[in-house]
């Protein structure tokens, strides 16, 4: 299975391991972090992978699984 994180129709990250993309998606949406830890994660990771504030989408085999939002950081 191929999983992806997309923003504005562009694939930001993809994998076939079924673990990393769902975890990163949850991290980006604030489900695994909160407060200062979450803000620090966003500042670091978003710059590294080219994600900005706004809507992101998690796909598995080109099927939309979930949408999330990255807040301003």
What pLDDT does residue 73 have? 85
Nearest to 26, CA basis, from 10, 3, 9: 3
What pLDDT does residue 47 have? 85
Tell me the whole-structure pTM to 2 decimals. 0.92
Instruction: Judge residue 39's burial from the number of C-beta atoms within 10 Å of its C-beta, 0-12 exposed, 13-18 middle, 19 or more buried.
Output: middle
For residue 5, give both structure tokens: 């994180």
pLDDT digits (tens, 9 = 90+) for 18-61: 899 999 999 999 999 899 999 999 999 998 898 999 999 999 99
More confident residue, 8 or 33: 8
What pLDDT does residue 5 have? 98
């Amino acid at each position: 299975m191929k999983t992806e994180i997309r923003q504005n129709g562009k694939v930001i990250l993809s994998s076939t391991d079924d673990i990393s993309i769902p975890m990163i998606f949850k991290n980006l949406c604030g489900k695994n972090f909160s407060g200062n830890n979450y803000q620090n994660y966003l500042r670091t990771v978003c710059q590294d992978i080219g994600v900005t504030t706004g809507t992101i989408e998690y796909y598995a085999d080109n099927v939309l699984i979930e949408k999330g939002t990255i807040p301003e950081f």
